[in-house]
Amino acid sequence: MTSPLTGGAVERILNGETVDKPVLQVLNFKPIAHNTADRYRLLLSDGVKCLNYAMLGLQLNSKIIDKEIERFAVVQLDKYMCNTISPEKKLLIILELTVIANGADVGSKLGNPVMPSSTGAAAPSDGDGASNRTPASSEFAASVKPPGGAQFPTRNTQPAPMQSSFRSNGGPTSGGDVVVLPICSLTPYQNKWTIRARVTNKSAIRTWNNARGEG
């Protein structure tokens, strides 16, 4: 039986390539406490390699709550973005997805995926224990166990500021070069930022008039 997963998609995404609507499997997920609402982190697989830094957009939380996304579900990433947290770490943010197959229908892990930094060791199995985790996955143990009893890796340390190849034209500041990013790439992991934008189209000034007055 041919695997429905897009083999090689994880490595291509991590290498900066754009993969159109890759089909991946959700091996596990867990909630991450956030200031305003829970975020969900996913462990994804393309059947060849695993991606353990994937974050579900807040607008997709209902798919977890309503159990559309379950362990072993097969999903298609319709829209996503990959941000560089550090030279060794990239974060995949999922903005839109389609559930191709329910986890209950699939029932098990597809293929024998490994962590990108591992040396051929398999990713956590269906009943994964601490003894068979790869170094990449065991570097952070989950404090909250997701459905299925398996632990999903999570890092407790704060991610480093996002790196970018964009630089400002103003030269270095007292703290080094100013990192310039597109507005659309801002994430909750950046706690110090200033938005500067250029107006390219200006409409007429809007006015209002009601019982309270006008302006």
Give the whole-angstrom CA distance, residue 102 versus residue 106.
Answer: 6
Quote the pLDDT of residue 46: 92
Residue 52 has pLDDT above 70, yes or no: yes
Whether the pTM exceeds 0.75: the reply is no
Q: How confident is the model at residue 38 (pLDDT cuts 50, 70, 90)?
A: confident
Q: Are 130 and 140 in contact (CB under 8 A)?
A: no
> What burial letters (b/e) apply to 105-128, b meaning 16+ CB within 10 Å?
ebeebbbebbbbebeeebbbeeeb
Averaged pLDDT for residues 64-78 = 92
**Band of residue 200 on the pLDDT scale cut at 50, 70, 90:** confident
- What is the mean predicted confidence (pLDDT) over 135-144? 37
Residue 21 has pLDDT above 90, yes or no: yes
What pLDDT score does 118 carry? 39
Length of the chain: 215
pLDDT value of residue 86 = 78
Amino acid occupying residue 183? I
Q: What is the pLDDT of residue 44?
A: 94
Could you tell me the maximum CA-CA distance found in the chain, to the nearest angstrom? 72
Q: Does residue 132 have a pLDDT over 60? A: no
Q: What are the C-alpha distances in Å from 103 to residues 3, 64, 95, 110, 147?
A: 15, 12, 20, 11, 11
Residue type, 46: D
**DSSP secondary structure letters along 80-113:** EEEEEEETTEEEEEEEEEEEEE-HHHH-S--S--
For residue 205, what pLDDT band results from cuts at 50, 70 and 90? confident
Neighbouring CB atoms inside 10 A of 164's CB total: 13
Structural domains of the chain ordered from first start: 9-138 (2.40.50.140)
Overall average pLDDT of the 48-61 stretch = 89
> What pLDDT, on a 0 to 100 scale, did the predictor assign at position 141?
37
**Structure confidence at residue 147 as a pLDDT band (50, 70, 90):** very low
pLDDT at residue 211 tops 50: yes
Q: And the tokens for 170?
A: 């103003």
Looking at the predicted structure, is the pLDDT value of residue 174 above 60? no
Q: What is the mean pLDDT of residues 139-148?
A: 38
